[in-house]
Chains A and B, each alone.
Chain A
Amino acid sequence: MKRLNWMIVIGMIAVMVALAAACKSSKPQPASTGTAAPATSAATSPAASFAGTVTIGASIGLTGSLAKEGKLTLDGYKFWEQWVNSHGGLKVGDKRYKVDIKYYDDQSDANQSARLMEKLITQDNVKLLLGPYGTPATLQDAVIAERYKIPMVEGNGAAEAIFNKGYKYTFGVLSPAKKYLQGVLEIAQTEKSPAAKTVAIISDNDAFSIEVADGAKAFAEANGLQVVSYEKIPQNTTDVSALITQLKGKNPDILLGSGHFNTSVLLMKTVKDLNLNAKIYGFSVGPSIPDFQKSLGSAADDVFGGTQWTADLKFQDSLFGTAKQYAAEFQKAFGYEPDYHVAESTAACEALQLAIEKAGSLDTTKIRDTLAGLDAMTFYGQIKFDSRGLNIYKPMAVEQWQKGEKVTVWPESAATTKAVYPTPPWSQR
């Protein structure tokens, strides 16, 4: 009897493991999560000539709710690491150093992220930090960086709340949240036939999304657009029919969604289901991710997305070359096209690299001071920080899905094609 029960429990575990193994071997992984491959470019400098190793710490959510974005962030970091090491390493004065990114999985938990940052600093003796993914974790990690006076360059926390606290050691290479949807509204301004006059904004209820939505609202009002609705929806919402039905009565010309990927997909599905017809659909997060089109099919067509970066932008630097070359090299190494999460993560590394090379020293205070005064052009755009450590100088771009392809439509200098406007009503698609 006793033995039987033991056997049941052990059997249960065995069955689960077996099931897990069976599922794993039979089910294909989606193409978008490519595995890391060694950097392909030929090494121009043999590893033997490195004077030492510079370790840079990061805590990233590789499990938990932000695992997908965490993976993109990590790949962006790793790509830079491989690239620099195979291209002569980090130049400090006249010495060259190998770079090593030491990272831990924070389970998408801001508390754990802070703890790991402290582990990196106090146990692994890391003197330089890269940011985690997402605003909540960045907010907590910024406190740690400040306390230990260790510079942290981040590319994945866009809320100004991070930068409005007077911290001196946190630098964000990405454009602030409030700019995410401004490009979409600028496009609306230039289109006159027929002109778009009213805007409805739907936002997720978190720090980043609210800043995006507030920024869009302020911009719309300052430019003579009428905001007919501004609603925040709770987390984990799985049904927005009621909200879209209410909006339908207000018949907005522009529908802006500020939220995370799931919300954007859900809103577009519901908009189509309930036949709400706007002239412009614009989202902060979603359209830039290829899965957006996979999830929506043709309903993704003509949708605009604000983006921190696209490979069509005409920026370049001496490290990677043009934005396009960066994208191609990344794809070669990791097997998928980099989106802006990847690019901004690499850009954070590059900003750190530029500051170290300019400072000619590994002294953290010197690096911090150099970062504060940095003004450089990269494949990602201009990197220059205001007094709060926020990069307000880099423009954002707008992408649009056109017939199943994602194209850059704004700013004009980077546009590969003209924006489709107005979006045809659902009945004609």
Chain B
Amino acid sequence: MTTVQQIINALLLGGLLALVALGFSLVWGIMNVINLAHGTFIMLGAYTAYWMFSLWGVDPFLSIPVAMLLLFVLGAILQVSVINFIVRAPVLATLLVTFGLEILITNIALKLWTADVRSVQTHYAGRGIALGSLSIPYNKLGALVLALIITALLWLFLERTKLGRAIRATAYDQVGARAVGINIGRMYALTFGIGAALAGAAGALISTTSAITPMMGSSYTIRAFAICVLGGLGSVTGALVGGLLFGFIEVFGVVWIGPGYSDAIVFLVLVLVLIMRPQGILGRAFSAGVQEAGGA
């Protein structure tokens, strides 16, 4: 029974983490930008849900669209005003600029909302489905389901719509995309906006289970990193597989070795995957970034 519960724990954790990494993976895959400010978008999404809940009593699940919209706008603005200028610069420039944004956004949040730990206390918090000795909390189950729905929607958008194909085209072949009249800068703004919106959704979902502080973001950025590498960069399914894998490593690391080593295992696996199979466990679906010649 314990093992079944642990599998459930791993799925609940992994599904949410997949959404955490999805936007990060998209931005990386399409634009070859590692967005170190990704975690702050998650933080902002969580605060959106928190304020909507505490000011107007809006359920955090219902504030997801608002969080996504706000973060989309912020992401698009940041892309147009800052990141479009360094998309083609060497890898370091993007790392540093997005890290600068991370410091900036975190500290603005700290200034506005203080370091107080917030949390959203819904009436169904702590309740769940009980099957014998198994427990599935409603909020985590809801988060998993919504994470999967949003992931599926993103997949449909990228695969089935004209706009989605245009976005993917910019990743495959910039010159070709430009030739058929795609405005690359605008596509990038859209992509980064979507990436931020996905982070916002993840943040709103996280607000139902975890504490909210201005500093919460960076640990999610690091996890998004690991998930993208584990699952394979820049594909929707890769993020999903990576997230689930991450969930299983964390949970069964605790079961078999103890809680202390879970991060050590994750990052050791990450390094090994990079060395042996840089394209991740699943290949790449819409990425152009794998053979890029980086360097400073």
Contact = CB atoms under 8 A, between A and B. Distances in A.
A pairs with B: yes
B119 interface: yes
B113 interface: yes
A241 B126 contact: no
A291 B230 CA distance: 37
A239 B112 contact: no
A12 B117 contact: no
Contacts, number: 134
Nearest to A235: B219
B259 interface: yes
A238 B219 contact: yes
A205 interface: yes
Contacts of B82: 9, 12
A39 to B, nearest CB: 23
B116 A231 contact: no
B17 to A, nearest CB: 9
Interface residues of A, number: 56
A218 interface: no
B12 A241 contact: yes
Contact of B9 (A12, A16, A245): A245
A27 B119 contact: no
A65 B211 CA distance: 13
Contacts of B250: 239, 242
A367 interface: no
Interface stretch (B103-111, B146-154, B232-240): B103-111
B258 A231 contact: yes
B89 interface: no
A33 to B, nearest CB: 5
A145 B117 CA distance: 32
B126 A231 contact: no
Contacts of B213: 262
B2 A246 contact: yes
Interface stretch (A160-168, A271-279, A398-406): A271-279
A68 B117 CA distance: 9
A234 B119 CA distance: 21
A265 B119 contact: yes
Interface string B201-217: 00000100111010100
Nearest to B12: A241
A145 to B, nearest CB: 27
Contacts of A274: 5, 135, 137
Contact of A245 (B2, B209, B215): B2
B115 A232 contact: no
A269 B105 CA distance: 28
Interface in B40-99: 51, 55, 77-78, 80-82, 85
Interface in A269-292: 269, 272-275, 291
Contacts of B125: 269, 297, 299
Interface string A237-255: 1111111011011000000
Interface of A is mostly: helix
A33 B251 contact: no
B128 interface: yes
A9 B77 CA distance: 10
B51 A27 contact: yes
A67 interface: yes
Given A12-B77, A232-B260, A241 B116 contact: no
A16 B117 contact: no
B130 interface: yes
A159 to B, nearest CB: 19
Contact of B108 (A20, A205, A296): A20
B121 A297 contact: yes
B219 A236 contact: yes
A63 interface: yes
A262 B259 contact: no
A9 B110 contact: no
B10 to A, nearest CB: 8
Interface string B189-204: 0000000000000000
A265 B209 CA distance: 10
A429 to B, nearest CB: 10
Contacts of A231: 258-260
Nearest to B10: A242
A115 to B, nearest CB: 19
Given A231-B258, A231-B259, A234-B263, A242 B251 contact: yes
B241 interface: no
Contact of B126 (A15, A234, A237, A269): A269
A373 interface: no
25 contacts: A5-B85, A12-B77, A12-B78, A12-B81, A12-B82, A16-B104, A20-B111, A20-B112, A23-B112, A24-B112, A28-B55, A33-B116, A63-B110, A67-B110, A67-B115, A205-B260, A241-B12, A241-B13, A242-B252, A242-B255, A245-B9, A262-B117, A266-B211, A269-B126, A294-B119
Q: Which 9 residue pairs are nearest across A and B when measured between Cβ atoms? A: A67-B115, A12-B81, A242-B254, A272-B126, A241-B9, A236-B219, A273-B137, A295-B119, A242-B251
Interface of A: 5, 8-9, 11-12, 15-16, 20, 23-24, 27-30, 32-33, 63-68, 71, 205, 231-234, 236-243, 245-246, 248-249, 261-262, 265-266, 269, 272-275, 291, 294-297, 299, 426
Given A9-B82, A63-B110, A242-B254, 18 more contacts: A11-B81, A20-B111, A32-B116, A68-B115, A232-B259, A240-B259, A241-B9, A242-B251, A245-B6, A248-B133, A262-B117, A265-B119, A266-B210, A266-B211, A275-B135, A295-B119, A296-B119, A296-B121
